Structure formats: C-alpha cells, structure tokens
Structure 1
C-alpha cells in the first residue's frame, strides 16, 4: 500500500548507481565473487512464524559499480515446499516501496490452513521472501517521523517546498549509508545474488504492485536468468511523478465509484438509493466541511477532510473492505462519529514512508521545477484543475506528491531508461478497477517488455491473485506448469455480495 499524502522527502540524494542500461553484474566478476559465492545459513525465525519457516541473511554490495564502498545485509525467510515434487524456489515481493517481505510472508503462511491462497504454490515451491535494502530488517532508513507530512496544503507551493526540504534534512540525518543506494535497479541486482545463493539457475518470481517494478527491472538486466515470472498489479517504469499522481487519482475515483454503485444497491447502506453523481457530491462536500471544521477524535486528535480522503483510499484496495467502509461512513454521516475510519486514516510508519519517497526519487528523473517556489506555485496552479477533474476527493492529496523530488539532482539510475527487453515471456495481470496501479500501466509495461502476455482482469481491487479465482488459476498454471495464454486473456468482473465477498460470475450471468 502506498503511503498517501506523504511528501517525498526522503528522496533524498542523487543515487550513485550505474545507469540502468549499463552491463548488469555477473557471477564471474571477481569483485563480486564473495557475494555470488554465498550460501544462506538458514536458522530459526521469530516465534510468531510457522514452525517450519527458516530465516537468514544475505550480504550484498551497497554499490555494484564499486563493491568496496560497503555492504548491506538483507533479511530473508523461506517456507519449504510441502509436497514431494519440488520445482525450486519462488521468490515473492508484496509491494511498496517500503513493504517488508519477511513479516508479510510469515503472516500469510499462518493463513495456509484457512485459505487456498499459496496452497498449491507452497506444495511445489520453497516460498522465499526478503526485505529490500532500506526496508524492514534490511538496514532500514528513517526520517525520524518527519514522513509522512501531515496534510500539507496543496495550494501553497512555498509551504509545500519548505516542508519537503525540512523532511529531506531529517531523512539524511537519520538514515545510514544505504540511503543513496535504495533504487529498484539495485534491488533487482540483489535478487540475482539471492537467486545464486538459493542454488537456482533461473529466478522464478511472483510480485505484486511495486514488486512488479522489481520484476521488470530484473528481467531487463538478467533476461538469461529469468524463469517463470508473474507480475500482478503492474506498476509504471517511466511516468513522471505528476502523471503518476494524476493517474492514481483517476484510479482511486474509479474504485470509489464502484463502491458507491455497490452501496447504492444495498438497503441500509449510507448511500442506498443515491445516484453515483449525488454520492460523489456529498462526499466532496463532507471532505470540504471537515477540512473547515474537523471533528474531535479519540485521544484528542482531529479528524479532518484529508483524513477522510485517506481513509477512503485505504479502504478501496478490495471489496472485502467495502462493508467496513460503509459502516464507518454511515457513522460519520449520521452520527458525526469518525471512530470507524480512524485506523485506516493513520499515517504510515516511519520506515515505510521514508522508503516510499527514497525509492521513488531514486527511480524517476522527474525533478519538476528544481525547487523554485514561484515556478512551483505556477505548476501547482496549472495542474490543480486537472487533478480536481480527476477527483474532487482524491485529487488534492495526490497533487501534493509532485513535490516529491523538487530540487534534487537527477538520479543516475532511473527505471525509465529500461526499454526493449529481450527475454522469456512474462505474465502481467492488470486490474480495470485497481485504485493503486491503474490498468494503463499494465499496457505501458507490456510495451516495454515486448514479450509480455497480459491478463486483463475486469474486477475490482488492487491485484487479483488470491482474490479472483480466474486470475489465481492463470497465475498458478504459469508458475506451476509453464503454460501461458497465446494472447491477451480476460478474467471477468466478479459479483460483490452484501458482505463484500466476490462471486465467480456477476449476478445475472
């Protein structure tokens, strides 16, 4: 989940990685021999993990172009294959930037007995997850709580830049030497060291959300070492931060429209019987009202309109969240009680927000107007009508994100440099109702890869594996059997019942 409304600030320094188009590291490079020669010493995991899971560390260079600069240790975990016919290791990444993989896999394995998700994959593969550099237990970067910034005013460019610069200083002061080296190109190079340490000739990989960016960058650098790769909820490699923020606002509004349609047809729902247009108008009016007169919340905090927008955004990742969102909105509208939305309006914790900003600015060359407050104000004023047209509720918050990397030198290793990838076919899953990685990014990335097979999921929510039976079957068929559709395939939209459960087919089919 991406940290909403968190200004860049960690973005922090120009990266000093080699260009994305430069030759990738090779196991035979004598400078990298000690890294590629590792074998992982698997040991016990935290007590909260499933008993058969093992944990370990992997050492990688800070800078692959100059390994003498230092190293970073990555946290790993592995769930051994449960069946007799093992296919090897399947490396997983759940997204971010800023999402730790070790704890995420630990939590999901605990659900194996209650859900079909991963069961077939876990029978044939050792499931392996890692905390990317700068994240979780892998030399985590920190901004000391300066990120995410609390509801900056997107109308005041000078204030936005001041807050960004202050947060950048905090991030530089509190993060260690890994900070300039957290870009996705380096994370993908770490994956190749991990592949070798696992004893695999090729990398089999399943990535969600930001994890898809990691996968594409790996495939670009190491086409001959790419095995079966499925990418779900496809991220962009090249859009400017402004274009990303605008497309995200559109995606959030599409997802909210789907929620409103569901709510309108449900007796007793907060917007039952209300047209989508009227419900959107009421929501925008409520956001404006709360920004002017926030409500008192638990612990003496204030719940304002941007808190509401963030709570809405964070409850649109899947229809299973819709009933809770409807209850929280109902209490807010009818009783002026925000308590049901407070948890989902909470800001991201320090490391998640810092990593989101640092990786974004390491990956994208967009530097806006270079920190000039007058020019930045003109840019904000010019863009605001487009963001409000995309969404009156989500547009203003997304607009603040164009401040992310203002004034910082351009990175030397942007993912936008990747194009014309030649390698084995990759499965891309794009969701038409995805609020976080909108479908146009799937088409964009398919063009970059050239050899991708697209699965067009017509349903709602962020990513489809484990949620859509159709998507899950296509992904598992590829990862377990190597079978792909000959061309773009389609998974239909699922029906959503009153409890937010998705049915195999839409009602009436």
Structure 2
C-alpha cells in the first residue's frame, strides 16, 4: 500500500507516497487509464518552481559553536564487526542542535573498512545508499566496502553511518509486525467512501503509532540534522573536507551538506539526484511519470519475448493487461501457499520493486505469469523484499524512518482525503496504470503528528569545490529532470548523463560511468560538461 519509499538504490527498493509507472506511454502526455477523464491541462502547475520560486538554503557559520565543540572533539572507539576487515563505532550527536543536552544525546552507528592500498590514502569516503531510511552500515558492509572499484577502496576508507532514526541509529518504530502486515494490505485504490475512510484510518494509525513509540525523536530526524551529523563525523575522522557518494535520497543528503557547509565540500558524487526546490506533490507526480517511463521500457522488452505475461502486442496493450490483472486481484486476492494472500496493494509493490533495476525484469515476468495462474508467491516475495519483511515475518525499520524523514522535510501534499481525490486525474495522466494508487498514497503525511520543519528550497552551495551529479535518463524513482534541476542549482556542479534504465548509475554495470566517477574521486577530474554514457 505505502508506495513512496522515495528513493533506494536499484535492487534495494523505496516506499511511501507516490511514484510509480504506467504501461501506456513514456511520453509527456501518457495514455490515460481506461475510464479516466480525457486528457486536459492540469489544474496544478507542471512545475511548482514557476509559481513558488524556492528560497536558497543558507549556509551555517564556518566556526563550530562553543556548545557543539565536545561533539566535534570526541574520539571514536573502534571494534571489529561484521565480516573480515570492518570496524564499527558509535558517534554521539545532539538530539537538537539548537539546544544540545547531553542527557538527550543520540548514538549513531558507524562502520568503516580502511583503505587497502597501494597508493597514498585520500581520507574517508562517506557513502549513503538512499531511502530515506536505507542503512549505510549494511550498504558499506555488504556492497560498497567490498564491491566499489578496487582503486577507490585502495585509496579511501569506505565509511557508512546510519542516519538518526535509521537501522542501528536510534531506530524509529511505529507498528507491530502484525499491524504492519495489515497496513501494507490496505486497499490503496479506494472505490467508495467506506474504503477511503479505511485508508485514512490506516495512515492515521501508522502516524499515531510512531508518535506513541518515539515522541521527541520524530521532531529531529530531518535531512538538515542528518547533514549536520555528517559534518561531526567528518571532523572526528580527521578530514578537513567531506568526500561522499550519495545515491537516490543520499543525493539530497549530500546536497544539503554542500548547502550548509560549502567550504567543507571535497569530492561529492550525487547519483540519481533529487531536486530540493520541488513541493512534495510535484515530487510525487514526477515520480509517477518516472515509473511510467520505467514500465514502458520493461514492456517494450517484455512484448518481444515468448514468455511475456503481458502479451506480445504494444506497450499500451501491456499496460491494459496489467491494469486488468490488478483489478482482478483487487476483487479476488491470489493464494500464495501461506496464510497471507496477494492483494492488489501487495501486487503493485511487487511490480514497483522490479522497476528499480532491469536485472529484476526476468523475475517479474515469472512472478506475473505465476500469479495469472493462481500462484502469487513470487510477486508477494518481491513485495516483501521491497518492505524489508523477513522470512520470520519481522519488518525492518526502513518504512518507519522513511515516513518520519519525508513528513518532516516537506509539508504534506494534501490536507485531507478530498484533496487527494481531486488530484487523482492528474496522477492518472502521469500514470495510466498506477495513478490512482499514488494519488491516494500521498495522504500518508497528512496525518503526521509533528509539523514539518522544512520547505522547498534551492541549494546553490556557492564557493563549494566541483560537485559531480549523475543522472539516468529512464530512472524511475529519481527522474532525470531532477538531476538536471539539481545540477543547475549547484553553483559548481557538472552533470554526467547515463542513457539507460534502472535507478542510479554508479557501480551498476556501465564502464563509462564508473570510469568517470573513479577519475573524479581519485584525481579530482571532472567530466566534460554534457558528457553522456550509454
């Protein structure tokens, strides 16, 4: 049900307010779902920046305030952890930077794998995989620390810190596992007032569960605060400037750091970028169109194959078949071989998960084929992977942290269900198959218990060293236009374009992208303006 995990790296999905795809068209004016209103000019501006130009994010003073010096001067106690070669420690940061109180300090989990050599050590390379809510500790220990290009690992300590509220860093919890099972099954495409009321009640229960369990922490998990935590870690690790690779939401975190601390920017790679100047509704609409583009790419590949479960016709027909499948699943959930059945909401999430990387396309074809024959187990497995639900029925923390950060960073798109219902035609124009789903899913922050502390803003980072932004042309979760938008805002940014599919581009199989990013990280060489990889 919850479909906006705004950003994760490919194969590690995303969720909670609106994003998805349409099987009908990858154009700017997609074919509407059957039964949708005729296409017309949207009642909302196509680009909120034209109506509400965002103010720039102001940098913080360069000098460390006296009441924060004890955090910047702390020493970490490193211990061996995880697989061979990794170390772990805890970093103390204030709950509230405006009013530090030692009794309320947070402990954030940090891991690193020291530079292996040969060659001169270049410092720490901080990594964040996105989310918001993705575990940087897990990502470093399972992926970056062993899978980043060998020359990069040779020269840098690879470092990951779970942001506040995430995974091992004071993790936010909102529901029991049983309650979460019920939550993700809730019908996210309500057909009448009764179903609308049930959906609103589910969002409200989720929000109140977070407030009941976490209280003050929910008011202090913003991206600005997470960026300030990164600056503390930078100093504690002994680096004058931050070197960083952020993917997906991690680009927003990295760009925020650059905006707050431009003089401390070293080499920043922002891969699959967000545009901080957009409202939450525009972000959701753009993601909806982004997943439409991704689904079109999947459908174009699928219909050429003998085993395509969506037929061998046009991509429009493939979208119609998927819509029919979802309608049937809404009316009659599919057996999975266990007590949980595959509902329309879970089936939608399963398809969504496969849009993050083309490597999941064969798995999705198999899952849809099986589901059409009455076995929803494979598609349910894709949904469980997206939600980080383990085989024991336990959920990870990503969905809770995701909502907490998103709902604090920006005002909710809608104030009530009536506004969401009014927006449905706009979302259906962006995604013929999934538009209704994501219009309604955007209600999640409406019931949040803490008022937002952020608003749309530009990030210019004047005076920062050169920053590299990487954008993928058919990225579903962070549409390419966002990478262009962020690169235009940042005063020292260069945009590297990957013409391809999937979410993010670095270390995903493109030698061209990897070579350009490695040259930047190792030698400070910025790609030529307008350089493209395919």
* Aligned 1:256-295 pairs, distance under 5 A: 256-271=295-310, 273-295=312-334
Question: Following TM superposition, by how much is the alpha carbon of 1:387 offset from its aligned partner in structure 2, in angstroms?
Answer: 1.5
* Distance change in 2, residues 1:352/1:6 (3 Å): farther
| 1:236-284 deviation digits (Å, cap 9, x = unpaired) | 3132222222211211121111111112223333346322111111111
Separation in structure 1 between the aligned mates of residue 151 and residue 440 of structure 2, nearest angstrom = 42
Deviates more, 1:317-326 or 1:408-417: 408-417
Separation in structure 2 between the aligned mates of residue 20 and residue 167 of structure 1, nearest angstrom = 33
Question: Following TM superposition, by how much is the alpha carbon of 1:470 offset from its aligned partner in structure 2, in angstroms?
Answer: 1.5
The structure 2 residue matched to 1:121, chosen from 137, 152, 156, is 152
Question: Following TM superposition, by how much is the alpha carbon of 1:318 offset from its aligned partner in structure 2, in angstroms?
Answer: 1.2
Are the counterparts in 2 of residues 62 and 72 from structure 1 also a CA contact under 8 Å? yes
The structure 1 residue matched to 2:113, chosen from 79, 101, 113, is 79
Separation in structure 2 between the aligned mates of residue 411 and residue 201 of structure 1, nearest angstrom = 35
Question: Is residue 2:285 matched to residue 1:249?
Answer: no
Question: Following TM superposition, by how much is the alpha carbon of 1:286 offset from its aligned partner in structure 2, in angstroms?
Answer: 0.7
Separation in structure 2 between the aligned mates of residue 133 and residue 380 of structure 1, nearest angstrom = 30
The two structures have a TM-score, normalised by structure 1, of 0.86
Separation in structure 1 between the aligned mates of residue 268 and residue 444 of structure 2, nearest angstrom = 31
Are the counterparts in 1 of residues 342 and 377 from structure 2 also a CA contact under 8 Å? no
Are the counterparts in 2 of residues 184 and 415 from structure 1 also a CA contact under 8 Å? no
SS, match of residue 388 in structure 1: helix
Are the counterparts in 2 of residues 363 and 411 from structure 1 also a CA contact under 8 Å? no
Gaps of 5+ in 2: 1-7, 19-54, 389-394
Deviates more, 1:435-444 or 1:406-415: 406-415
* Aligned 1:347-426 pairs, distance under 5 A: 347-348=387-388, 349-366=395-412, 368-369=414-415, 371=416, 376-377=417-418, 379-406=419-446, 411=451, 413-414=453-454, 416-422=456-462, 423-426=464-467
* Distance change in 2, residues 1:92/1:287 (3 Å): same
| 1:17-37 deviation digits (Å, cap 9, x = unpaired) | xx9956636563210111010
Are the counterparts in 2 of residues 25 and 189 from structure 1 also a CA contact under 8 Å? no
* Distance change in 2, residues 1:89/1:136 (3 Å): same
The structure 2 residue matched to 1:204, chosen from 243, 255, 263, is 243
Are the counterparts in 1 of residues 242 and 264 from structure 2 also a CA contact under 8 Å? yes
Give the aligned partner of residue 139 of structure 1. 170
Are the counterparts in 1 of residues 15 and 402 from structure 2 also a CA contact under 8 Å? no
* Distance change in 2, residues 1:440/1:278 (3 Å): same
Separation in structure 2 between the aligned mates of residue 5 and residue 289 of structure 1, nearest angstrom = 24
Question: Is residue 2:514 matched to residue 1:480?
Answer: no
Give the aligned partner of residue 103 of structure 1. 138
Give the aligned partner of residue 54 of structure 1. 87
Question: Is residue 2:483 matched to residue 1:442?
Answer: yes
Gaps of 5+ in 1: 8-18, 493-509
* Distance change in 2, residues 1:5/1:76 (3 Å): closer
The two structures have a TM-score, normalised by structure 2, of 0.82
Question: Following TM superposition, by how much is the alpha carbon of 1:327 offset from its aligned partner in structure 2, in angstroms?
Answer: 1.5
The structure 2 residue matched to 1:68, chosen from 80, 91, 101, is 101
Question: Following TM superposition, by how much is the alpha carbon of 1:382 offset from its aligned partner in structure 2, in angstroms?
Answer: 2.1
| 1:436-490 deviation digits (Å, cap 9, x = unpaired) | 1111111221232132111111100000111122211111111111011241211
Question: Is residue 2:501 matched to residue 1:460?
Answer: yes
Give the aligned partner of residue 74 of structure 2. 38
Question: Is residue 2:381 matched to residue 1:343?
Answer: yes
Question: Is residue 2:229 matched to residue 1:190?
Answer: yes
Give the aligned partner of residue 504 of structure 1. none
Are the counterparts in 2 of residues 245 and 401 from structure 1 also a CA contact under 8 Å? no
* Distance change in 2, residues 1:158/1:267 (3 Å): closer
* Aligned 1:209-228 pairs, distance under 5 A: 209-228=248-267
Deviates more, 1:196-205 or 1:469-478: 469-478
Question: Following TM superposition, by how much is the alpha carbon of 1:341 offset from its aligned partner in structure 2, in angstroms?
Answer: 1.5
| 1:178-203 deviation digits (Å, cap 9, x = unpaired) | 22100000000000000000000000
Separation in structure 2 between the aligned mates of residue 267 and residue 187 of structure 1, nearest angstrom = 48
SS, match of residue 302 in structure 1: coil
